[in-house]
Amino acid sequence: MIAVVGIGNPLRADDGAGPRAAEFLRCSLPEERVSVVASPCDPGRLFDAVDGCEAAFILDACTGGEPGEVHVWAGDPRGLAHSLQAHHFSLSDGAGAASSHGFGLVHAIELGCSLGALPPRLWVVAVSGSSFELGEPMSRPVRLGAIRAAWCVIGEVSQWLSD
Amino acid sequence: MRTRTIKIDMLARVEGEGGLSVSLKGGELEDVRLHIFEPPRFFEGFLRGRRFDEAPDITARICGICPIAYQISSATAMEDALGIVVGGQLRELRRLIYCGEWIESHALHIHLLHAPDFLGYDDAIQMAAEFPDEVKRGLRLKKLGNRIMALIGGREIHPVNMKVGGFYSVPAREALLSLRDDLLEALDEAVATAKWVAGLAFPSFETVSNDVALREEGEGGRYPLFGGRICCNRGVALAVSEYETVFEEFHEKHSHALHSRTVDGGVYQVGPIARFNLNRDRLTPVAAATANELNIEAVVANPFRSIVVRAIETVFAIEESLRIIDAYDPPPQPSVEYEVQAGEGFGVSEAPRGICWHRYRIGENGEIEFAKIVPPTSQNQARIEQDLRELIPSLLVLNEEQMKWRCEQAVRNYDPCISCATHFLKLEVHRE
């Protein structure tokens, strides 16, 4: 089984790119082989979503880059966490600036490594956003970026399933 | 005189954002201030003019960790204004969803936010490498609390099923019974958590306590979630409507959140230790036995031991959930009927961090004319500052990093939800 998890808050403008892309994928991937969920960046929810899966794709928004640009990182969870830490793009920071009880995505992956709660192969597919204001709509470049991110996941999942 | 400044840009592992500055002059403590400098959120302001029955959903947005506290305090205040009482199984369902909130909030704070302080880790991620079973246990408990909230409230964050008069719909008995096996397992896990945290090394520190919490009077009184009287270990027992005769809010320049004190200027605390000290005799059997087995003192005076009390309260909340589920008989109507009328109402409940008090006045057309909300963290601000004033002299022998560590840990004793009051915490220590 493969998990696809869209992370972010649809009520915070471009932060909703992950759930939007997951929404596209829900109808496009074989449900008997791939589970698709949208989730806040909560470690417990993330670990539940990927529990027992051989691989997982995490869709998120990020800062940095041109709005709508799609970035892909892949690897084993620990290596991926290092790659993401070294990168200058900033991924989901948990519940956002309004809360420090939330975990950022990188921290959630690090915690998952310590707990052995993640599958051996992980992808992070992120869409660059420009506005993360509460109540604002998602920008057009990011809406398009979410579609490109979904296509990217479809390609990777198809490859994975055929191998 | 030597001046020394220690600064922490961000205090992690608390809910929301604020700052703390400590001034030392000639090696002696001069001042401690808990800064809360984010703009006020004006919830009371924009409740005015809204319909009375919108209050539970609007006030729930004050906090993503403890929305039930705001929903129950506002709903019961409106019910008070309307002259109705929500009792029987509807009341029990409210207790159950509140137990869910306590379980998720306490499990999060104990395992992921506070325990790393005692074990010498910067955060739960570091701690998880050596204590994976404990962190997993915390996540399991939190998940169960969230499940209870979602099952009754429709969703776990900002639930939508609570209303003035009861609920929009009530769960079937089978739905609640689906939680039973997991709650039984969780009860063992919560007891194990209590034993684990009771074995931590606690700083030697005690304060004179002025505890304020709810208490259900009379035989059959239960450990408080909502209802009962507002009691103090110094002998006060107030009706909910009498709160303002003893407690008042005031503004401090360094905080955008109002502080609270007794009208004679006294500092007090709300939260798990206050509840426990005033209601130990109301604990459920396993929680009481666990507290006894762990030799928890009759009056907990060391705020660092709040982590143990939170663990005991988690045992209580699970046991109470089981009791309610076993006795559950779905009520014929999901809510009590009422006529809209003008009036004033008061509501209070025990948020995980302490009492959350509300007062509203509604007009004949059902519009809210006045709203006042006193969250627990606002009430604990002065107490946190007092603890630090008493603690810091013993920390002067420590290096700066050790001192910062202990100050942050002392703030976290109260699991402050600064988002409820406002945001962001920084620590600055000025030494002259």
Contact B73, B348 (CB under 8 A): yes
Least confident of A87-96, B66-75, B90-99, B380-389: A87-96
Q: Measured in whole angstroms, how far is the alpha carbon of residue A99 from the centre of its chain?
A: 19
Which chain B residues are closer than 8 Å to A44 by Cβ?
Answer: 139, 142-143, 146
- Map residue B309 onto helix, strand or coil: helix
Is the Cβ of A60 closer than 8 Å to some Cβ of chain B? no
- Closest among B313, B303, B310, B311 to B202, alpha carbons compared: B303
- The average pLDDT across B153-182 equals 96
Contacts of A57 (CB under 8 A, 6+ apart): A2, A3, A4, A5, A122, A123, A125, A153, A156, A157
User: In terms of DSSP bridges, do strands A55-62 and A2-7 run parallel, antiparallel, or are they unpaired?
Assistant: parallel
Of A48, A100, A115, the CB nearest to B12: A100
Strand residue runs (E) in chain A: 2-7, 34-39, 55-62, 70-75, 121-128
Which chain B residue's Cα is nearest to A102?
B15
Q: A151-162: string of b/e by CB count within 10 Å (b at 16+)?
A: ebbbebbeebee
Q: Is B99 exposed, middle or buried (0-12, 13-18, 19+ CB in 10 A)?
A: buried
User: Residue A108 carries which side chain, given as an amino acid letter?
Assistant: A
Contacts of A77 in chain B (CB under 8 A): none
- 3-state DSSP assignment of residue B249: strand
User: Given an 8 Å threshold on Cβ–Cβ distance, is B135 in contact with A111?
Assistant: yes
Tell me which residue of B339, B360, B373 sits closest to B83, measured CA to CA. Answer: B339
Å from B139 to nearest chain A CA?
Answer: 6
Query: What is the amino acid identity at position B61?
Result: R
CA distance B349 to B347: 7
Average pLDDT, rounded, for chain B: 90
Backbone angles phi, psi at A121, to 5 degrees: -125, 130
Residue (of B273, B75, B268, B242) closest to B166 by Cα position: B75
Q: Per-residue pLDDT for B6 more than 70?
A: no
B38 three-class SS: coil
How many Cα neighbours within 13 Å face the side chain of B194? 26
**pLDDT digit of tens for each residue in chain A (163 aa)?**
999 999 998 888 999 999 999 999 998 999 899 999 988 778 888 899 999 999 999 999 998 889 999 999 999 999 998 888 877 666 766 434 334 455 678 888 999 999 999 999 999 999 999 988 888 999 999 999 999 999 999 999 999 888 8
Of A82-96, B13-27, B255-269, give the range with the top mean pLDDT. B255-269
Consecutive H or E run containing B208: none
Structure tokens at B30: 């001069």
Question: Max CA-CA distance within chain A?
Answer: 43
Helix (H) or strand (E) segment spanning residue B103: helix B88-108
| Per-residue CA distances from B55 to B152, B302, B370 (Å) | 19, 37, 12
Assess B155–A contact: CB distance below 8 Å, yes or no.
no
Taking CB atoms and an 8 Å cutoff, what residues of chain A touch B143?
A: 44, 48
Q: What is the pLDDT of residue B369?
A: 96
- Whole-angstrom Cα distance, residue B368 to residue B292? 47
**H-state helical runs in A28-139:** 43-50, 77-86, 105-115
**A101: nearest CA in chain B?**
B15
On the question of pLDDT at B28 being above 90, the answer is no
Side-chain-side CA neighbours of B353 within 13 Å: the count stands at 33
Q: What is the pTM of this model?
A: 0.89
Q: Tally the residues of chain A.
A: 163
Are B147 and B286 a contacting pair, CB within 8 Å?
no
